[in-house]
Structure 1
Amino acid sequence: MAIQVLGVLLLALKLLAMVRAEPWTQAPLLPVLMAASQNIPGEQCRQDYSLFLNQLENFTLWAVEMFDASTKVPEGLLAGNSYHLGHFDQCMGISANLGERYIRGQYCIADIRFQSKEFKLPCSRELQPENSAWQKLQWCGDPSKVRRDTVHWALCVPASCSPEDVHTALSEALADLEPSLGVTFNVTVPPEQCSRHEERIQLGASAVTLVCLAIVISLLFITSTLFDFVCCGGNSEKTEVLPGGEAADCNKCLPVREYFLIFSARRNLPKLITLVPSQPAFDFSHALRFAFMTCIIMGHRLLLYIDQPFLNAEDYEAMFHGMGDMILANGATVVDLYFMLSGLLLGYTLLETFKKDGKVNFLLVILNFIVRIMPVYMLVVWFHTSLLSQLGSGPFWKAAVHKEEQRCIKYWWTNLIFIHNYWDPQNMCLFPSWYLATHFHMFIICLLLTMLLSYRPKLGWIMFGFAVILSVLIPFFNIWWYQLDPIIKPFPDFGPDIRNNKVFRMIYVKTHNRAAPYLVGTITGILLFKSRNSTFRLSKITSYIIFYGAWLVGIFVILSCYVFFIPDRQYNAIESGLYGSLHHISIALVASAIFFSVTFGHMNVYCKICSSPIFVTLSRLSFNAYLLHSTAQLYDQGSLRLPRYLSFYVTTWDVTGDITIAYLLALAMALMVEMPLRHLFKMLIFGRKVKKEES
């Protein structure tokens, strides 16, 4: 029976080689069977389908193109190739003016789930070649396996047909096959999986405004840079320090030069490259920031692969079954290192400010933080709400890009006030932005705790200790109470969107579950500041032992999640809670040990390498790269026309492209938006003339 079903599904005809119409219009192919349905609800759709059949018999171009653009024969079902995408652009390009009516093509992906009425075989991981193919096709609930009982079938239909019409026609066509095949079919045609040419609308007011703003900023950038080179480049007088430390006197050139020249690339670019030596741990962190960001971009690319169709599902299924695979499976741990680094900088710089000025302006610190991240962040959100959906097309464009646009239109305000990791996280705009919300919350908390420690040291340390304990107990309780996995498992059952994952929504993005690394980083920064004048130094051997030992411990923490990937292993809520709560703080403590060994050990060579101009520049661009890389990946996801073949080469190529595009865009945003606005903020706060120390 299985052979009969596959025989129907895999029936191949050399369509365009045939001259006569009868053999193929009578063949049991879904595009033909659907067109013959008399129960289609839409009258116009039913008439257009009838016309399609008549014109197909006459071998008329538009009808043959519509037939040709649909999937007729799936292949590789047993290998897990469930997406059969036809030809999107050919379908969308169909346009025929027939006088009384106008025919256009519409591309739909129907989800067809099938199940044998007769065969229900025991599930087994070890499949024998002589066994029934149904044993491999049936779904046994294993999340590490790709479903082979579902086919995503591309159909090119008349644009007058609604998703309901397509669903009715396809269900009727398959129902006629059920009795003879002994198979049941369940059909769904989600509206977001149907695309028509008419849906490409004109740019709205928001998109036009964004384009105009981009043009204005670009003109300011170009003219300011040219003016700086032409008018100020030859002036050797240095009578005034501008924001950022640069000095020039262009009074005769432009009276409002201070405000105009903040857009100059000639002045801003050196600030990205120049390193002012400070704390060894800070110098060492530049290369780490770039390395961690590379890992994050690669991790998001791997998550994207789960969302997209791929040919070699069996190769993907073989992943995450070995200890070494845990580097990828648990790669999200690098985010904890970013939290730790952020806390480290906060703790050290706040005490440094308090030591110098005797106080910390709480509101000014918050305002500076917002000015630092908000302009680029809101521009990216704005781009997602207005312009991105108009820049491409593809089989998954509506399901990916349009859906993201609707989320951002509805919930952009939650991103603006940093509550989107709590307010309906399943529909948050720009999913990587959860990090910014958590970062902002922890910035406020650690800022208050550090200020308390500055004024009341004993009480401050008590509150820090209490906060660290809570940061471990809360995620443990949540994982134990809700019976959740300790980490997000990147299995094929992950779904089309990470935001649908329960662990992501309830554990991963919540500030109270991710607080530990930030707290540890802040404490580390405080301790490093208090010991800045210490003459204590580790011996060379001891510093190497701590440095390399910490890296080994960190790798062990990451690899130890392997126990949760062992097939058929019984779930233990306490065990999951312990790992889910302790691995975050463990990674932060590992990073803390590394920074102490760098500060008090003999790691000067590493510090020099990690603080070289290339790493300093890439480090300073990493925040913008984080914001921008997902936009390019989302575009790629929506515009994909064919299933991918996953391999090390393909992954390397894609990740390299992601990193290159992200950092080029990050450089442009830094020079044209971030740095000019930060300088403008300093000029407005400190006045036109900014002392070098204040800069």
Structure 2
Amino acid sequence: MAVRACALLFLAFTTAAARECIELTLPDKSLLTDSILNGTILKLAAKNESFEESGRFNVVEMWERFPKIVVPRNGTSDQCRRDSQLYLDSLERLELWALKMFDATAKPPAGILSGNGNQYGDFDECLSIDGAVRGKYCLASLQVSFHGDKNMADIDTLVHSGHYIRSNITDMGHRVPRYSSLLWGVCIPSSCSSFDLEEELSENLSSLGISVKVHNTMCTVKDFNRPYSFGKTLSITFFLAIILLLSLGTILDDDKEGATNFEKLLNAFSLKRNLKKIFDLSDSPTKVKGIDAFRGVNALALLIAHKSMAMAHNPYVNKVSYSNVFGMPWAVVGRSAILYTDSFLYLSGFLNANNLLQDLERKGTINLKDRLIARWFRLFPLFVSLMLFCTYILPDVNNGPQWNLVVEEHSRVCEKNMWKSFLFIHNYFGFEEMCLTHTHQIGMDMQLYVATLPLMVLIWKFKKLGWSLLVLIAVASTVLRYLAIYWYDISMFVYFGISVQKLLDAARYSYILPTHRATIYLIGMVMAYLMKSKKLNFTLSTAQSRLLWCSCFGLAIFTVVSPYRMGLEGYQYEHYPAAMFAAFSPILWGLVMCVAHWAICNDYAGVGTAFVEARVFKFFNKIAYSVYLTQFPIFFYNVGIQRHAEYYSPLLLLHFPEVLTVLLVSIMATVAIEMPFNKVYRIYFGTSQTKLKDK
């Protein structure tokens, strides 16, 4: 037995030696190296060699190999290298400032597979370091990718919180979140740059398959003094002037109507007088029924939809739950948010046409100059106030890990592109270069209003030509929507797994263009004409009224939920359903609005009358414009100051303190800016001008 064993060992040894000799002399591809036996051996060896480079190894060894001490040892400046070495030496001696710098830097946590991948570290602790070395806080973006079998794909999905929105580290993040990128807080010496940190992290993390980007704007030091610009001086002067007028108007208000223009001007800025009017909920004799309810319901729906997008910026210990919730079928109600903006376009078209028809009935023409000035006073004062505040005042108010991204970056974009907003053309330049991206609707509304003026004159004087042109524009707008979606592979529905770039493309090529959104606006104009001309005056029985409402609700539900499959996890983009939804959903939703509006105006609301005429809607209608403008700055303010991950719950969509803040700020903006400037228009340009001249 011993002899046989020795013989076998000798045979194995000689075979291995011969194999090594043969492989040294043979080319890479030969009969032997391609043999079944040797191929199997080579594949096994290759598998063992590449195991350490696989995604599976990265997951298991992530905590072991992730750098515990992050400092740019090879910084580009001598001072950075000296401070980095001083930090390492001081840390070894357990000096307090060095321990704080180490402690303030994020570490790999538990719960990464639950979505707890965004780690801010300790922002305030880092900025408090002011000893031998000052602390600089940087928020790095990490791109992690796991490839391989299904198990790796599942891990990749969990690490990226379900890929609710797909992004990369180079995407803009100040409006649409870099959802798929992990945010990692690092505290380094202030003498080191973002480039130094990026190089250090890349060197340490590349072996784990992690890409790194550290934007210069994502680094913060304590007591950073921003340059004092002319725009900031102008903004401070503007707001001080407003405060002075409000103070004088409120203090000198004696509850009497002013006799001179100056007295009327001061009364216009009286907070006491404006607050009384904003809480006066009596109906105007010319008020159109249903407008308040439509505006209130759709504004609430948009508020929730906008909040859900802002929440995607925040870190959560269970961010996978966030993705799961918005991947449920019922979440289609939020993903179809474009329909709620369509509601406002319908209301705008209806109200604008209704007011212009009143002018045409009285005068037979439209005073273009007066109408444009009135529209300017309606939209611009509060709009410019918000832009100036967010550009020059808000950045100095607070700070936080994402403050530079969601507040400072908006300020930089506004400083460069604000002039486009002044001209109401900002919606033609895409979200990337737009000051306060949520204001695109104001640009569209102004442009559609200007186009409405000659169109209404044509309809009034040359009916056949006017109506033909209106139908042609509506059809052309529908075709443009369909083609834009089909050609650019975009979607007006926020489908599951959509990329940041596709969201931006959807905005640029369709969502923010009046040419593509005009259809439902024109439907509102048509409805105003039909109701004004009493062409829809007929009566319904109770049964017919109920059938009408059932049909209306059925069509509304169908329009909202028809693309629900696109919102489910695992959806793969398809051109046709996306193009059909974009082309025809505004038409279907316009029919819903028309039917509901007609029924309410003709007292067929039935048991819903109390809801439609609720006082809360009458109040909200007065602050609706302010709510629309102020909600995103407030949302992003809270995102910017967020210091740590919290537990996600759907109830955060209506976080009471935040909603209350939106309401209070909107009330103050309305009584301090919107209402006073509307009165200024009436004093100097409106109907009261004649009376003042007569005096």
Same fold? TM cut 0.5? yes
1:522-533 alignment, distance < 5 Å: 522-531=525-534
Residues 174 and 671 (structure 1), Cα distance of their counterparts in 2 relative to 1, 3 Å cut: closer
One-letter identity of the residue aligned with 1:330: S
> What is the alpha-carbon distance in structure 1 between the residues aligned to residue 455 and residue 300 of structure 2?
32
Structure possessing the higher radius of gyration over alpha carbons: 2
Q: Which residue of 1 aligns with 2:102?
A: 67
One-letter identity of the residue aligned with 1:62: W
1:77-476 alignment, distance < 5 Å: 77-96=112-131, 98=132, 103-114=133-144, 120-122=148-150, 151-174=182-205, 178=207, 183-201=208-226, 204-228=229-253, 231=254, 233=255, 248=256, 256-272=262-278, 273-278=280-285, 282-476=288-482
| 1:110 and 1:154 in contact (8 A); partners too | yes
Q: Find out whether 1:588 has 2:587 as its counterpart.
A: no
Q: Find out whether 1:32 has 2:69 as its counterpart.
A: yes
> What is the alpha-carbon distance in structure 1 between the residues aligned to residue 121 and residue 674 of structure 2?
44
One-letter identity of the residue aligned with 1:10: W
One-letter identity of the residue aligned with 1:677: F
Tell me whether 144-153 or 257-266 shows the greater mean CA deviation. 144-153
One-letter identity of the residue aligned with 1:154: G
Residues 81 and 531 (structure 1), Cα distance of their counterparts in 2 relative to 1, 3 Å cut: same
Q: CA deviation at 1:271?
A: 3.8
Q: Which residue of 2 aligns with 1:544?
A: 546
Q: CA deviation at 1:686?
A: 4.5
Which whole-Å deviations, capped at 9, do the CAs of 1:563-617 have from their partners, x for residues lacking one? 3235556644233211111001211111001011112343376455534443222
Residues 643 and 521 (structure 1), Cα distance of their counterparts in 2 relative to 1, 3 Å cut: same
* More helix by percentage: 2
| 1:95 and 1:105 in contact (8 A); partners too | yes
One-letter identity of the residue aligned with 2:684: L
Which whole-Å deviations, capped at 9, do the CAs of 1:58-82 have from their partners, x for residues lacking one? 2111111111111233322222222
| 2:129 and 2:135 in contact (8 A); partners too | yes
> What is the alpha-carbon distance in structure 2 between the residues aligned to residue 249 and residue 564 of structure 1?
58
| 2:429 and 2:508 in contact (8 A); partners too | no
Q: Secondary structure at the match of 1:172?
A: helix
| 2:179 and 2:313 in contact (8 A); partners too | no
Residues 69 and 321 (structure 1), Cα distance of their counterparts in 2 relative to 1, 3 Å cut: closer
> What is the alpha-carbon distance in structure 1 between the residues aligned to residue 557 and residue 599 of structure 2?
18
> What is the alpha-carbon distance in structure 1 between the residues aligned to residue 414 and residue 167 of structure 2?
32
Q: Which residue of 1 aligns with 2:514?
A: 511
Q: Secondary structure at the match of 1:642?
A: coil
Q: CA deviation at 1:329?
A: 1.6
Residues 268 and 490 (structure 1), Cα distance of their counterparts in 2 relative to 1, 3 Å cut: farther
One-letter identity of the residue aligned with 2:189: P
Which whole-Å deviations, capped at 9, do the CAs of 1:336-358 have from their partners, x for residues lacking one? 00110111111222112211223
Q: Secondary structure at the match of 1:318?
A: helix
Tell me whether 136-145 or 453-462 shows the greater mean CA deviation. 136-145
CA RMSD of aligned residues (A): 3.1
Residues 332 and 160 (structure 1), Cα distance of their counterparts in 2 relative to 1, 3 Å cut: same
Q: CA deviation at 1:110?
A: 2.5
Tell me whether 399-408 or 504-513 shows the greater mean CA deviation. 504-513
> What is the alpha-carbon distance in structure 1 between the residues aligned to residue 113 and residue 183 of structure 2?
14
Residues 218 and 187 (structure 1), Cα distance of their counterparts in 2 relative to 1, 3 Å cut: closer
| 1:284 and 1:607 in contact (8 A); partners too | no
> What is the alpha-carbon distance in structure 2 between the residues aligned to residue 135 and residue 450 of structure 1?
53
Identity of aligned residues (%): 22
Q: CA deviation at 1:46?
A: 0.9
| 2:166 and 2:180 in contact (8 A); partners too | no
| 2:249 and 2:266 in contact (8 A); partners too | yes
> What is the alpha-carbon distance in structure 1 between the residues aligned to residue 179 and residue 576 of structure 2?
34
Q: Find out whether 1:520 has 2:523 as its counterpart.
A: yes
| 1:543 and 1:601 in contact (8 A); partners too | no
Residues 358 and 140 (structure 1), Cα distance of their counterparts in 2 relative to 1, 3 Å cut: closer
Q: Normalising to structure 2: TM-score of the pair?
A: 0.83
One-letter identity of the residue aligned with 1:327: V
> What is the alpha-carbon distance in structure 2 between the residues aligned to residue 141 and residue 174 of structure 1?
22
One-letter identity of the residue aligned with 1:544: R
| 2:331 and 2:567 in contact (8 A); partners too | no
Q: Normalising to structure 1: TM-score of the pair?
A: 0.83
What 5-or-longer segments of structure 2 have no aligned partner?
Answer: 1-51, 169-177
Q: Secondary structure at the match of 2:289?
A: helix
One-letter identity of the residue aligned with 1:104: R
Residues 688 and 310 (structure 1), Cα distance of their counterparts in 2 relative to 1, 3 Å cut: same
One-letter identity of the residue aligned with 2:76: P
One-letter identity of the residue aligned with 2:81: R
Q: CA deviation at 1:365?
A: 0.9
Tell me whether 64-73 or 568-577 shows the greater mean CA deviation. 568-577
Q: CA deviation at 1:274?
A: 4.2
